[in-house]
């Protein structure tokens, strides 16, 4: 037996387990789903062929259209925000000098919690008079204090930096010592004004419906914005880890050379870090798109805590048709919606690949 054919055989052996599971759980499942999408089937009676009527029913089903719009909006927002945040956090953690391990662990914590547990915690945080409402309420009540603090802080910092630049060259606008001095100065002034009774506190009795509401904000229900916040919180750490691995593979010689050439921190980030991280960014965006288009668990756990139309996503719509509460299964509708979701996912990933972030580094 030649060496080539034996190698070929071992190759096949290596991919065999994956091939079997893929054939069983993917190829077979997708063919069956495609078949059911053209039938009327309730899990019990023999499926009867109904042509394209499940698909036409989808288009005329208001809930499907809402779910489709919700899914696309959610995917767009969450993928963008989580990619940017993960990159920012990775750069931050990569630069941390002290307690780097601790910082990484703390940032990674949300990702190791189960999404069911996180959702339940957020259900509590999102209560109408809950923690998040309290934060907003405090910010509103002390808005004069906060505005004054930032105004004085910016003015002090500007004055200090301008003054220093008269004597020394190259004083950064974010000089850490001046930042500290400006912050203390601003704080002292705000406290003095508050004690002197010059700053009114706005009493408010806020109740914000984060989840249980039918209101829309921009193109998405408020409920899904809240879910997006929760989703970003749990996914960013994992994506941050990917970026961190990418950051550590960038040779430091590149940064040294750029620094000698006089590039500032932002220029180094823009022209070295971002292009070198392109393969990682591609993976992060692709995973983000797939994960967000198929988001199900978090809205399913919300259950009756939010109105159906405000939390329906395509994946949830599929489930809702496969197991409708107190009614017979509509497997045909569920299958056709599942196929639409699958095709949408592939299409979005393909569009992203051809016009968005490229797979290879420049």
Partner 1 sequence: MLSHPARALAAATMLLGLPAFAEETVRISGWGGSEVAIVNGLLTNVLAEKLAKEGITVEYEPVDGDFSQFILNGLSAGTAPDLFYVDVFWARSIFSAGQAAPVTQDVSGFAANLLQAFTYDGKLFAVPKDFNALAVHFNKDIFDDAGVAYPSDDDTWTTLQAKLVAVHKALPEVDGLCVVPEYARFGAFALSTGWSPLDSQGKTVIDERFRRAFDFYTGLVESGAAVMAADAGQSWTGGCLASERAAIAIEGAWIISALRDGAPNMNLGTVRMPKDPKSGKRGNIVFTVGWSVNAASKVSKAAAKVAEFLTTEEAQQWVLEQGLALPSRTALADNPWLRGGQPEQMASRVVLEGLADDHVSPYFFGDVGGSWMQPINAALNSVFLGEADADAALASAQSAFDRMLAK
Applying CB under 8 A, which residues contact partner 1?
42-45, 62, 127-129, 207, 209, 212-215, 304-305, 307-309, 323-329
Q: What are residue 190's phi and psi, to 5 degrees? A: -65, -45
| Nearest to partner 1 of 110, 307 (CB atom) | 307
| Nearest to partner 1 of 131, 184 (CB atom) | 131
For the residues of 177-207, what is the DSSP string, one character each? HHHHHHHHHHHHHHHHHHHTT-S--------
- Residues 335 and 31: beta-carbon distance below 8 Å: no
What is the Cα–Cα distance from 57 to 336, expressed in whole angstroms?
Answer: 10
| Nearest to partner 1 of 19, 328 (CB atom) | 328
- Residues 178 and 160: beta-carbon distance below 8 Å: yes
Closest approach, Cβ 128 to partner 1, in A, equals: 5
* Distance, C-alpha 52 to centroid of its chain: 35
| Nearest to partner 1 of 41, 243 (CB atom) | 41
Q: Residue 316: helix, strand or coil by DSSP?
A: helix
Tally of CB atoms within 10 A around 159: 13
| Nearest to partner 1 of 127, 292 (CB atom) | 127
| Nearest to partner 1 of 33, 352 (CB atom) | 33
- Residues 352 and 286: beta-carbon distance below 8 Å: yes
What is the Cα–Cα distance from 117 to 224, expressed in whole angstroms?
Answer: 18
Closest approach, Cβ 207 to partner 1, in A, equals: 7
Residue 197 tokens, joined: 């009774």
- Nearest Cα to Cα of residue 163 among 148, 150, 177: 177
| Nearest to partner 1 of 27, 120 (CB atom) | 120
Q: Which residues, at least 6 apart from 177, have a Cβ–Cβ distance to it below 8 Å?
A: none
Closest approach, Cβ 168 to partner 1, in A, equals: 57
């Amino acid at each position: 037996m030649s060496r080539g054919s034996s190698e070929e055989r071992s190759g096949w052996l290596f991919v065999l387990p994956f091939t079997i599971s893929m054939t069983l759980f993917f190829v077979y499942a997708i063919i069956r789903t495609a078949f059911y999408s053209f039938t009327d089937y309730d899990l019990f009676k023999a499926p009867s062929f109904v042509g394209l009527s499940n698909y036409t029913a989808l288009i005329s089903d208001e809930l499907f259209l809402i779910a489709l719009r919700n899914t696309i909006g959610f995917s767009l927002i969450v993928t963008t925000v989580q990619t940017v945040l993960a990159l920012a956090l990775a750069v931050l953690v990569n630069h941390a000098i002290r307690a780097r391990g601790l910082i990484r662990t703390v940032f990674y914590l949300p990702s190791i919690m189960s999404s069911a547990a996180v959702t339940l915690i957020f259900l509590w945080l999102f209560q109408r008079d809950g923690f998040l409402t309290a934060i907003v309420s405090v910010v509103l009540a002390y808005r004069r204090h906060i505005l004054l603090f930032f105004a004085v802080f910016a003015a002090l910092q500007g004055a200090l930096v301008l003054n220093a630049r008269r004597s020394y060259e190259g004083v950064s606008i974010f000089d850490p010592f001046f930042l500290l001095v400006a912050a203390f100065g601003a704080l002292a002034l705000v406290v003095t004004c508050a004690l002197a009774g010059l700053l009114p506190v706005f009493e408010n009795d806020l109740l914000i419906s984060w989840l249980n509401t039918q209101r829309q904000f921009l193109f998405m229900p408020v409920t899904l914005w809240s879910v997006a916040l929760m989703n970003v919180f749990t996914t960013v750490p994992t994506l941050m880890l990917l970026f961190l691995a990418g950051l550590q593979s960038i040779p430091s010689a590149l940064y040294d050379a750029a620094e000698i050439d006089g590039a500032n921190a932002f220029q180094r980030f823009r022209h070295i870090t971002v292009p070198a991280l392109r393969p990682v960014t591609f993976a992060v965006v692709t995973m983000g798109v797939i994960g967000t288009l198929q988001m199900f668990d978090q809205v399913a756990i919300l259950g009756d805590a939010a109105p159906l139309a405000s939390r329906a996503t395509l994946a949830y719509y599929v489930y809702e048709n496969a197991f409708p509460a107190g009614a017979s299964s509509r497997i045909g509708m569920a299958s056709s919606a599942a196929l639409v979701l699958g095709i949408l996912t592939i299409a979005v990933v393909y569009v992203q690949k051809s016009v968005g972030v490229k797979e290879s580094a420049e």
